[in-house]
Chain A
């Protein structure tokens, strides 16, 4: 009993590449890949997804627009006040805007499925927060 087993384990260690058994094992294991578009995946907490902008907190200082490295924020007129408008097609999701904002008016969401065939879908116009949805300015 001992000898053949020893020979086998020695062979395993020195000559046989371990892939022979590894491959067969996987045949009966659950695949590592996920059925993504059918089964959604949630990003980790703190993920930098699409921004939410809370118009109630904004004081129209324009710091977000000034610090944005991608020039993705344009200040537009809303009821006589300058407010940031996000152009997501330029945005690189660095969240410098959120960091620069003195009032924490810009927050992150976990929304990452932003692909679209229409560029205007990617413009986040400053609008009052929709209380029901909890997410503002859904484009």
Chain B
């Protein structure tokens, strides 16, 4: 359904926007004085797949920049607004794009920009005891001067005024492997409402990245998420390489692709198993995790560690793939490929599994578009977005592979997307190994990066991962913005959980493949 004929340049030119082609994606659009809504409207009119990927807030001195990063079916644009620091208000875009709600809340929390008309303003990532008027991502913020409010001693009520019981899932709960809170209001066994609260493990990586050199920053962003660590590293180093205008040698591109796909493989197998656990299917869980283990061993062999690969760096990769390792990798992948028909048949034929997964958490295509979901969640609802296809990076442009799309939109479809992608990943790695170019795997890059800014997107296992990096001519970045896929996908859960059985909450939620250490950064 990708409509390649839409030229957003022309569309925006017709509306008299000041545009800079090639900067921050396809174009950068200057939109002062609340005109960001007009630009967004213009894009939404011509392209139904227009979605807000992220909203970056940035301290520009006297002003605060608010950048709306927008993806359309064939382009990636950035709408730039500026608001004065002493009166930072801006009209909300949640009425146009409901999926932008979380992004706006985050900018409010971290930079103090007030979005007028936001449907549910309030604390989102910062702790409840955080003082008013202190915004950590502003440059004048001094951590030593924070005075926390005393924690509230109010009793948490476990039922609301209508007499519905409030079940609190999280911050500690067996269904969630990481701390995040979802207060689920239930009537009997039916979910009436879900209130999310994130930020329990917020580590301020975006702020910390400003105090690490680019070299060290790679290791920092890699640790945002253990599972998709190399995706974070790739997204960051590519953005830096864009600013540096460095061309990475082809061998490095292929090795990166292999590492990324190994990452995807073990991440998908993890989720597929985890979903089994959530529906009480322990056997499936054990089998998936057993088959995931060889992939972890491969990652260890290729990168030097089972989980955190630490093998990407600005200018290439840190470690070559040894010729002697290639047959081993191929053998392991072939063994995994043999197991796939078994799992596919399970998904096709196992009655209890289908009873728990089909028609659970159904997200329609319209809602998927409106809520700006990404990755397998979007592809399970029939929205064909995949950064590897839409904006090929590394070696993906040269490697043939299928984009998996299911249309049912339920938990079962999302899991099947991952199941098929496992097979595609094996194909990609095998192709990359067969076509591994020779030559250097790394080029030398300067430590000091010239002033500039870049956006970059990577298809992480959980979906589109977005990075914005701005440099100021030193060895330290000025601003690093990370938008993780789970952050974009949580609204889908909040929408689909309502009206379903409380027993459907865990499988539905896990089908998003939620990763909170990503979400909280």
Contact = CB atoms under 8 A, between A and B. Distances in A.
User: Do A and B touch, yes or no (CB under 8 Å, in the complex)?
Assistant: yes
Given A46-B301, A92-B219, A17 B349 contact: yes
Given A47-B305, A99-B318, A22 B219 contact: no
Nearest to B344: A18
Interface in B211-262: 212-213, 215-217, 219-220, 223
A113 interface: no
B466 to A, nearest CB: 23
B248 to A, nearest CB: 17
A115 interface: no
B310 A94 contact: yes
Interface string B472-516: 000000000000000000000000000000000000000000000
Nearest to B318: A99
A16 B349 contact: yes
Interface string A19-49: 1001100000000100000000001111110
Contacts of B308: 92-94
Given A46-B301, A94-B310, A18 B346 contact: yes
A19 B310 contact: no
Q: Which of the four size classes fits the interface of chain A? A: 20 to 34
A46 B342 CA distance: 34
Nearest to B223: A92
B262 to A, nearest CB: 13
Contact of B219 (A14, A43, A69): A69
Given A48-B310, A92-B219, A18 B342 contact: yes
Nearest to B349: A17
Main secondary structure on B side of the interface with A? helix
B283 A23 contact: yes
Nearest to A69: B216
A36 B167 CA distance: 39
B133 interface: no
A86 interface: no
Given A14-B349, A94-B310, A19 B283 contact: yes
A97 B424 CA distance: 37
B142 interface: no
A48 B213 CA distance: 22
A74 interface: no
Given A18-B342, A48-B304, 4 more contacts: A17-B350, A32-B290, A47-B305, A93-B308
